[in-house]
Amino acid sequence: MASTPLLRFQLDERVLAGGELSRRDLDALARQGVRSIVDLREEGEPGQQLSPNVAAAWAHACDLEYRRVSVSEAHLQAKHVKLFVQALEASPRPVYVQSANGLRAAAFLILRLALEQGLDAAGALARARSLNLPALSPALERFVREELRRRVAPTA
């Protein structure tokens, strides 16, 4: 997949992620072969270029599948991880995962990677750094650590 200025990071060649997309970005991703969008934003987040509802309409106009898992950084819950993993797995690849600034996207991709590979929090965060995923906010890192502590037994 060709590099694009809007691309913030890649988990692998089939999972891309970053900040909020504009209409032009959606067009560009579709032309580059991206097939779906997973949107973690909520309606009414400060500074939105396109609300999730409008982004869904534009995504469909670009022949992109669109799935939404509304996640507020202030109200992170374990159920969001399950919903995200389900949405991501149901999305045709390549897929772009977006959140306002890309940090929620990074956090949820770290969680997915850890669950897939059986990594504990320390291992998952180290793997994320090796993949050049962005550093998380303290609240998001705390959420990742707590979720993985609950879900994955630490390795000895």
CB-based contacts of 80: which residues, under 8 Å, 6+ apart? 69, 71, 108
Q: What is the pLDDT of residue 7?
A: 47
Which residue type is seen at 70?
S
User: How far is Cα 104 from Cα 49, in angstroms, rounded to an integer?
Assistant: 17
- The pTM of the full predicted model, rounded to 2 decimals, is 0.90
Inform me whether the pLDDT recorded for 142 exceeds 70. Answer: yes
Second CATH level (architecture) for the domain 9-151 = Alpha-Beta Complex (3.90)
State yes or no: pLDDT of 150 exceeds 50: yes
Which helix (H) or strand (E) element contains residue 61? helix 52-61
Identify the pLDDT of residue 13.
86
Strand duo 9-12 + 15-18: pairing: antiparallel
**What whole-number percentage of the chain has pLDDT above 70?**
92
